[in-house]
Chains A and B, each alone.
Chain A
Amino acid sequence: MKQIPTPEEGDQQQVTERPLDMPDLPDLDGEGRIGEDSVSPFTDEEIRSFFIPHKTIECVLGNEDRLMKTVDEGLGLSKIIAMLFLASVVFAIPYGAAPPARGLWKIAVLYTGSMMICLPSLFVFGQYLRLRLSLAETLVVSLLITSVSAMFTLGFFPIIWFIDYTTGPGEGDATVTGLSFTLLVISFVLGIAHMIRSLKASGRFVETSVPATISVWLFLLAFITYRMASVVGVISW
């Protein structure tokens, strides 16, 4: 094992030789928070591998403690942001292509577009309320929602396609649209849950102002996402 570098040493240095999927990562304590000393950030080699689709999923889902540690230390931030942004867009394409959305771009715009609209408010309010999140960190936290939501839509895409294919026209169309909307809501909620879990893993959710600010912002994001769903035609009542 090599020494863990300080942030000043940059993101080029190898931090650890532990593989990404090694199961004996530190135990969770009672509240699911990881002790800071026992978590190592991703190595530069690992970060580069995250542009392979299944590695992206493994990085974001299940390794939130290491991801947040990497972000905290400022290692490879631009690559992580690029990876999360790509994941938010690319993983959402199949669900958008499938009925009833029928638009490659629609789900990506639904999640990522809504988040981009709300991002400035989170950053500015965060600065005003002294949340100590830089713009890059705010972007990572926000992109966690959209990337995880997009990953779930990737999982749901064969399901909604299958349901649409096997459902009769007429009243069945309304059922498929309703189910599709429900799956999108589930994806979105799980994306939010993962973002909160990641913040908890990084220890940032302890200060009382953080949950309050994030909660209000999430309410705004949910509202804008709902409006965006109407605009892009994902839902029609």
Chain B
Amino acid sequence: MVRLLLGTLVASAIYGFSIGSAHSLTYASWNLVKFPLMIIITGSVCSVSYYVFSRFVSKELLFKDVQMMSLRAYHGISILLASLSPVSFFLARTLKQPDETSLNEYPFFLGLNVVLIAISGSVALSRQAWDLLQRHGLQLRRSILTVLLWLSLSLFVGGQCAWYLRPFFGISTIKADESPFILGTTPDFRGDTNFYAAVYHIVFPPPLEADYFRRGKPLS
């Protein structure tokens, strides 16, 4: 269990470093702590829910089983992301940075990393579903349902956790020394103060304010 935990922390730190390097070495260094922190917080906050949902779907899984399986899932995601970190690092160092006229390739880089995380998450969770089938003898339908419920919970909590711990990527128009370690509840460039409002405004975008490129800094 300790090895799994250590592996998760190291692998997620590597990936965190690669995405932070899109901005600066400062951001990359911060992500060595912040990305593993995000994984640990999300797993801890969801742990009881994982168990209650598992019991709801199937009687075979005990609390310890569920915690080990969720740790294995996070370990899997971290390892897969770490393997993609060279790709992310290369793109981070070559993307066209935002300026005062446009966000340029920043949204693409952001979106691509969301896709990479989604792919890694899906692969790791598919393997967990397979493990549920093989090790615990769950029916296919129940295995898939359990894993889908875990995925939904993780996205629900992980999204907000990532929001609170942001910036992971950082916009180059804001210098590293102007940005805090975490932005917490500071409104983003659209004025949103939480992950769910931000997602809503991605689907239904409001008009941007004139000084949007300066936002993402703490209020003075």
Which A residues lie at the B interface, using CB under 8 A? 21, 23, 25, 54, 57-58, 61-63, 148, 151-152, 154-159, 162-163, 166-172, 175-176, 179, 190, 194
- The listed residue with most B CB atoms (<10 A of its CB), out of A57, A63, A152, A166, is A166
Chain A residues near B41 (CB-CB < 8 A): 162
User: What is the CA–CA distance of A57 and B62 in the complex, to the nearest angstrom?
Assistant: 10
* B143-166 residues at the A interface, CB under 8 angstroms: 153, 156-157, 160-161, 163-164
Q: Which of B46, B47, B48, B56 contacts A61 (CB 8 A)?
A: B56
Which B residues lie at the A interface, using CB under 8 A? 41, 44-53, 55-56, 58-60, 62-63, 136-137, 153, 156-157, 160-161, 163-164, 184-187, 193-194, 196-197
CB proximity of A185 to chain B, nearest CB, Å: 14
- The listed residue with most A CB atoms (<10 A of its CB), out of B45, B55, B136, B187, is B55
User: What is the CA–CA distance of A183 and B187 in the complex, to the nearest angstrom?
Assistant: 25
Chain B residues near A171 (CB-CB < 8 A): 193, 197
Chain A residues near B156 (CB-CB < 8 A): 159
CB of A152 within 8 A of CB of B52, answer yes
CB of B55 within 8 A of CB of A58, answer yes
CB proximity of B20 to chain A, nearest CB, Å: 20
CB proximity of B201 to chain A, nearest CB, Å: 11
CB of A61 within 8 A of CB of B52, answer yes
Q: List 19 A-B contacts (CB under 8 A).
A: A54-B63, A57-B51, A57-B52, A58-B55, A62-B56, A152-B56, A155-B52, A159-B49, A159-B157, A162-B160, A166-B160, A166-B184, A167-B194, A168-B184, A168-B185, A168-B194, A172-B185, A172-B197, A194-B56
CB of B197 within 8 A of CB of A166, answer no
Q: Given A62-B59, A159-B157, is A23 in contact with B137 using a C-beta cutoff of 8 Å?
A: yes
B contacts with A: majority SS: helix
User: What is the CA–CA distance of A166 and B60 in the complex, to the nearest angstrom?
Assistant: 35
A-B contact count (CB 8 A): 93
User: What is the CA–CA distance of A200 and B134 in the complex, to the nearest angstrom?
Assistant: 28
Chain B residue at minimal CB-CB distance from A62: B59
CB of B194 within 8 A of CB of A172, answer yes
CB proximity of A42 to chain B, nearest CB, Å: 13
Instruction: In the A-B complex, list the 4 residue pairs whose CB atoms are closest, starting with the nearest.
Output: A168-B193, A62-B59, A168-B185, A155-B49
User: What is the CA–CA distance of A170 and B58 in the complex, to the nearest angstrom?
Assistant: 41
Chain B residues near A167 (CB-CB < 8 A): 160, 185, 193-194
Chain B residue at minimal CB-CB distance from A153: B52
Q: Which of B51, B137, B187 contacts A155 (CB 8 A)?
A: B51
Identify 16 new A-B residue pairs, CB closer than 8 A, beyond the known A159-B46, A167-B193.
A23-B60, A57-B51, A57-B55, A152-B52, A155-B51, A159-B45, A159-B49, A159-B153, A163-B157, A166-B184, A166-B194, A167-B185, A167-B194, A171-B197, A172-B194, A194-B56
CB proximity of A107 to chain B, nearest CB, Å: 15
CB of A158 within 8 A of CB of B45, answer yes
